[in-house]
Chain A
Amino acid sequence: MEVKDANAALLSNFEVYQLLTDLKQQRKESGKTKQSSGQQNLNTIMYETLKYISKTPCRYQSPEIVREFLVAMKDHKLTKAEKLQLLNHRPVTAVEIQLMVEESEERLTEEQIESLLQTVTTILPGDPEEQHRDSAMATEDKAATDVV
Chain B
Amino acid sequence: MFVLVEMTDTVRIPPWQFERKLNESIAEELNKKLANKVVYNVGLCICLYDITKLEDSYIFPGDGASHTKVHFRYVVFHPFLDEILIGQIKSCSQDGVHVSIGFFDDIVIPPESLQQPAKFDEAEQVWVWEYETEEGAHDLYMDIGEEIRFRVVDETFVDTSPTGPSSAEASTSNATEEVQKKEAPYTLVVTMCINFYSLVSVVVYSVSEIAPLSQGTDCFKLTMKQSQNERSGKGEKQSFSCGCSVF
Is B3 touching A11 in the complex (CB atoms < 8 A)? yes
Interface residues on B, range: 35 or more
Is A42 touching B102 in the complex (CB atoms < 8 A)? no
Interface residues of A in 48-84 (CB under 8 A from B): 48-49, 51-52, 56, 81
Residues of B within 8 A of A44 (CB): 36
CB-nearest residue of chain A relative to B77?
A: A49
Instruction: Out of A1, A9, A10, A42, name the residue touching B7 (CB < 8 Å).
Output: A1
Interface residues on A, range: 35 or more
CB-nearest residue of chain A relative to B50?
A: A19
Residues of A within 8 A of B77 (CB): 49
User: Total contacts A to B, CB within 8 angstroms?
Assistant: 112
Q: Is B159 an interface residue (CB 8 A)?
A: no
Is A39 touching B8 in the complex (CB atoms < 8 A)? no
Q: Is B170 an interface residue (CB 8 A)?
A: no
Type the 1/0 row for A5-45, where 1 means its CB is closer than 8 Å to any CB of B: 11111111101100110010000000000100011011011
Is B80 touching A81 in the complex (CB atoms < 8 A)? yes
Q: Is A144 an interface residue (CB 8 A)?
A: no
Indicate the member of B46, B49, B231, B238 with the most A CB atoms within 10 Å.
B46
Min distance, Cβ B225 to any Cβ of chain A, angstroms: 13
Residues of A within 8 A of B75 (CB): 11, 16, 19
Q: Is the interface of A mostly helix, strand, loop or mixed?
A: helix
Is A5 touching B5 in the complex (CB atoms < 8 A)? yes
Residues of B within 8 A of A11 (CB): 1-4, 75
Instruction: Out of B8, B39, B47, name the residue touching A42 (CB < 8 Å).
Output: B47
Binds A, one of B27-35, B59-67, B176-184: B27-35
Cα of A95 to Cα of B84 in the assembled complex, Å: 13
Is B194 touching A3 in the complex (CB atoms < 8 A)? no
Min distance, Cβ A34 to any Cβ of chain B, angstroms: 7
Cα of A39 to Cα of B86 in the assembled complex, Å: 28
Known A41-B37, A42-B32: A1·B8 in contact at CB below 8 Å? yes
Interface residues of B in 50-98 (CB under 8 A from A): 71, 73, 75, 77-78, 80, 82-84, 86
Is A49 touching B4 in the complex (CB atoms < 8 A)? no
Instruction: Out of B37, B151, B198, name the residue touching A105 (CB < 8 Å).
Output: B198
Cα of A90 to Cα of B31 in the assembled complex, Å: 31
Is B8 touching A4 in the complex (CB atoms < 8 A)? yes
Instruction: Out of B5, B39, B194, B199, name the residue touching A99 (CB < 8 Å).
Output: B194
Q: Is A2 an interface residue (CB 8 A)?
A: yes
Is B7 touching A4 in the complex (CB atoms < 8 A)? yes
Instruction: Out of A10, A49, A100, A106, name the residue touching B103 (CB < 8 Å).
Output: A49
Chain A positions within 8 Å of B, measured between CB atoms, are 1-13, 15-16, 19-20, 23, 34, 38-39, 41-42, 44-46, 48-49, 51-52, 56, 81, 85, 88-89, 93-95, 98-100, 102, 105-106
Mind listing 6 A-B residue pairs with CB under 8 Å? A8-B4, A10-B4, A42-B32, A56-B86, A81-B83, A99-B151
Contacts beyond the supplied A9-B4, A46-B35: 11 A-B pairs with Cβ under 8 Å: A4-B6, A4-B8, A8-B3, A8-B4, A9-B3, A20-B46, A41-B36, A85-B84, A89-B84, A93-B238, A99-B84
